[in-house]
Structure 1
């Protein structure tokens, strides 16, 4: 996948396998609820650990809003890439990995319901498929977002939390670090992670070679 382009499927589209999701979400199993308040691993990996698709250097960003209690998310919107999708809570499956959204509903986004609520202190996690066997899925264009763009999350209570994107990275699976991906980047902030698959499709392994990880932080809250 070239920087700045959507994470595309190869050869007419691929199925994101259970193995891929197990790798992508292994850190959730290991960290559990601790991801909300655990250390974030510093400002970023050393050179060579990740590919920086979009960084906030030179982009004016608004100040962070104070964290709130947060609400269970109902819908997520990313206007820059045309995403407006329902959010469904997901838990752990029988193997201890997070149960992903169903391929029968490729337009759904999964929220790790045992972790942080969007708007609350810590890092709330939203995951979605990049494609199915024959069509793009909800986060197909996720790697095209850039720092300064907005993400809106509607709560089941009618509230709306607005986040500002400050970083977009591609983490190779062989150097995937749960602390850097799932941990908060700045202590005390309310943050959001949007995660999908990216890189090339490895036909032999039956999975993609990387993960696209978009980081955002809370900048505005509209209560019901």
Structure 2
């Protein structure tokens, strides 16, 4: 392809499509392994990771709020779970998958910094471990959440983005669908995904068999 062709309308669309395909591939790899623990021979503690998906009734949920601008997240609060966790930006690892928080920081949540910020238009991605070799981690009880529950994200611009959960899914890693898990549910909304391990623990593979994906959307902002 010549430089002139690449700069044309079709070339621009091609670059966008290729970039999206590469991101989805990285997220597919992420779904297969990013939140897996490295267990001891006794196996890690297991949280409430057998939850089924909880359907939402849109009529009972609040209306979406107008998306905010970009500002990095600093902390995520989940009141019912007693979670108040610092958030750090993470990139991609050598395989092209999102790099999770280090295993020695089980109370830290990772934000995919190349994607939307929580509160901005699009789907912002936050990932945390479910457990360590010896104890529960930050998203240990994530799968117990349901529609209507609240998540708050403190941003660097001084605003607190308030999200309402509208869906909870447990997605098997075999045949993992990155678009279903991480794609925007409704265009124009500011959405949030909270992701951790789920399903059962496969001792042979030394990882969990599924991912818990909590979907939420922006419903308010406070300063």
Using structure 1 for the length normalisation, give the TM-score.
0.76
Q: How does 1:24-63 map to 2 (within 5 A)?
A: 26-27=26-27, 52-57=52-57, 60-63=60-63
Counterpart CA distance in 2 for 1:169 and 1:29 is 18
Q: Which has the higher contact order (CA 8 A, sep 6+)?
A: 1
CA contact (8 A) 2:28 2:176 kept: no
Query: Could you say if the C-alpha distance between residues 214 and 144 of structure 1 is closer, same or farther in structure 2, counting changes exceeding 3 Å?
Result: same
4+ residue segments displaced more than 3 Å: none
Question: Partner residue of 2:142?
Answer: 142
Counterpart CA distance in 2 for 1:25 and 1:105 is 26
Aligned pairs, how many? 180
Question: Partner residue of 1:193?
Answer: 193
Query: Could you say if the C-alpha distance between residues 210 and 25 of structure 1 is closer, same or farther in structure 2, counting changes exceeding 3 Å?
Result: farther
Shift of 1:90: 0.2
Shift of 1:158: 1.4
CA contact (8 A) 2:129 2:197 kept: yes
Query: Could you say if the C-alpha distance between residues 25 and 161 of structure 1 is closer, same or farther in structure 2, counting changes exceeding 3 Å?
Result: farther
1:139-178 deviation digits (Å, cap 9, x = unpaired) = 0000011100100000122111000000001001113101
Shift of 1:52: 4.2
Question: Partner residue of 1:207?
Answer: 207
Question: Partner residue of 2:85?
Answer: 85
1:172-223 deviation digits (Å, cap 9, x = unpaired) = 1113101111110001111000000011000111110000000000000124
Query: Could you say if the C-alpha distance between residues 115 and 194 of structure 1 is closer, same or farther in structure 2, counting changes exceeding 3 Å?
Result: same
Question: Partner residue of 1:113?
Answer: 113
Larger Rg: 2
Query: Could you say if the C-alpha distance between residues 54 and 188 of structure 1 is closer, same or farther in structure 2, counting changes exceeding 3 Å?
Result: same
Counterpart CA distance in 1 for 2:155 and 2:67 is 15
Give ranges in structure 2 of 5+ residues lacking alignment: 1-23, 31-50
Alignment partner of 1:164 is 2:173: no
Shift of 1:97: 1.7
1:109-144 deviation digits (Å, cap 9, x = unpaired) = 000000011111100000000001001000000001
1:68-103 deviation digits (Å, cap 9, x = unpaired) = 113100000011111110000001122322111011
* Structure with the larger helix share: 2
Q: Which moved more, 1:91-100 or 1:198-207?
A: 91-100
CA contact (8 A) 1:71 1:159 kept: no
CA contact (8 A) 1:125 1:193 kept: yes
Give ranges in structure 1 of 5+ residues lacking alignment: 1-23, 31-50
Question: Partner residue of 1:16?
Answer: none
